[in-house]
């Protein structure tokens, strides 16, 4: 499942990796338009995930995972062939996000349905943290292919990645969930579960920050290289790959800390630390490249360190008969705020001077810091509400 997910994620940041250097100049887009185009993926995901993930309470999640992976791959390849500007690109990229909505959380459901009874937090964390490996490979492949053969080829090649999950689905043993009565989209039991809701809202804050920085990481480092210079080996390709790949051990260690010291405490500390690092980067956008590279690698540790603990906490708090609906709301909130993070940071960049302005990047990192700082408030609200 983890290998299949890495394949499913190969298209994931192909657009973000080529946004500042290729797509925005080719189509004359502003940063806000570029951010909105990138957010189409998260928006398509947000629209589809409530239905597709809740559906896994009624049919085998493997089937949803299979077809979601197929749609994701085909839409990514279609972007390389048919995208001609802002509107067509946004529409096709939204379709790719819709396909991924059938691939990520339904994949988690397919995995947890097949795990033995007991604490599954480490298995869940391994699955969620392998997300980072897939994103790292997506950054690497998308930029290297685009630099040598053009951005359209990058979309075509990464569109083949989901075949790995298609193979995993075909090898997986089928299951028949127990018949469920009532409405498909019934989130009332999830909203009543304040413990799970706290993790869901915290996950939304995490996704806002994560998608915001992933959308503009290559653009920010391009600014740094242009204004401060950097060693030839420290290119946007290398930096973005390292930023993504170190997320996997960070997520695993974050979950281990949550198991040892308590989820709420560990997640809160990580989120506050991440907000502080974001502010430091923004205030030092014109610092030497080596110093910014170190700060970005620290940020690459703090941004994902809460991810596994948040998802494992939500999964543990979910009532078994409503786990699909809980996963659906988790993803809807998360990717809805992902879309807001991509567009909001782009709008902030435009408002403060654009991609060539240090003030613009300062405002981007302030927005990211404010976004993740909402997470501890959500966890505090959930805890105080459950104690009443």
Query: Distance (Å, rounded) from C-alpha 252 to C-alpha 224?
Result: 30
CATH code for the part of the protein at 2-175+188-387: 1.20.1250.20
Distance from C-alpha of 347 to C-alpha of 352, rounded to nearest angstrom: 9
Task: Give the integer Cα–Cα distance in Å for 293 and 235.
Answer: 10
Terminal alpha carbon distance of the chain: 40
Q: Where are the domains of the chain?
A: 2-175+188-387
Query: What tokens were used for 180?
Result: 């469920």
Q: What is the largest CA-CA distance in the chain?
A: 62
Say what the pLDDT of residue 7 is: 95
Which structure tokens are listed for 186? 């019934």
Which pLDDT score is estimated for 277?
98
Q: Splitting the chain (388 residues) into consecutive groups of 10 residues, what average pLDDT does each group show?
A: 93 93 94 94 90 83 94 97 96 96 88 75 77 89 94 97 95 73 71 90 96 93 90 87 87 86 93 98 95 96 91 84 80 90 94 93 97 94 71
What span, in angstroms and rounded, lies between the C-alpha atoms of 96 and 78? 9
Q: How far, in Å, are 160, 216, 278, 365 from residue 369 at the CA level?
A: 35, 15, 6, 6
> What does the pLDDT read at residue 386?
57
- Residue 144 CB neighbour total at 10 angstroms: 15
- How confident is the prediction for the chain on average, in pLDDT? 90
Global pTM reads 0.83
* Count of C-beta atoms within a 10 Å radius of residue 381: 15
Q: How far is CA 118 from CA 110, 113, 123, 258, 324, in A?
A: 16, 12, 11, 17, 18
């Amino acid at each position: 499942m983890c290998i299949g997910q890495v394949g499913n994620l190969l298209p994931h940041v192909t657009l973000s990796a080529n946004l500042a250097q290729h797509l925005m100049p080719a189509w004359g887009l502003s940063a806000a338009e570029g951010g909105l185009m990138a957010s189409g993926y998260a928006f398509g995901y947000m629209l589809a995930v409530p239905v597709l993930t809740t559906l896994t309470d009624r049919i085998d999640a493997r089937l949803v995972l299979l077809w979601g992976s197929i749609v994701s791959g085909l839409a990514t390849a279609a972007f390389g062939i048919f995208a001609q500007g802002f509107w067509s690109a946004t529409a096709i990229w939204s379709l790719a996000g819709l396909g991924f909505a059938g691939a990520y959380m339904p994949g988690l459901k397919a995995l947890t349905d097949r795990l033995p009874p007991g604490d599954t937090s480490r298995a869940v964390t391994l699955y969620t943290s392998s997300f980072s490996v897939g994103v790292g490979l997506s950054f690497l492949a998308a930029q290297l292919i685009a630099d040598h053969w053009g951005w359209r080829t990058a979309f075509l090649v990464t569109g083949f990645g989901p075949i790995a999950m298609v193979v995993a689905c075909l090898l997986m043993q089928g299951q028949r969930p127990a018949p469920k009565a009532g409405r498909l989209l019934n989130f009332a039991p999830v909203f009543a579960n304040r413990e799970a809701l706290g993790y869901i809202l915290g996950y939304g804050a995490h996704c806002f920050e994560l998608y915001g920085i992933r959308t503009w990481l290559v653009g920010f480092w391009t600014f740094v290289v242009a204004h401060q210079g950097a060693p030839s080996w420290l290119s946007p390709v290398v930096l973005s790959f390292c930023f993504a790949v170190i997320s996997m051990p960070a997520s695993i260690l974050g979950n281990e800390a949550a198991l040892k010291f308590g989820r709420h405490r560990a997640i809160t500390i990580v989120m506050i630390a991440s907000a502080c690092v974001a502010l430091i980067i923004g205030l030092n956008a014109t610092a030497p490249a080596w110093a910014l590279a170190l700060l970005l690698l620290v940020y690459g540790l703090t941004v994902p360190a809460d991810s596994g603990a948040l998802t494992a906490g939500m999964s543990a708090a979910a009532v078994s008969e409503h786990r699909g609906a809980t996963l659906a709301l988790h993803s809807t909130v998360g990717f809805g705020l992902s879309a807001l993070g991509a567009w909001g940071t782009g709008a902030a960049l435009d408002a403060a001077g654009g991609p060539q302005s240090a003030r613009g990047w300062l405002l981007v990192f302030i927005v990211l810091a404010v976004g993740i700082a909402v997470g501890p408030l959500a966890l505090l609200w959930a805890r105080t509400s459950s104690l009443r």
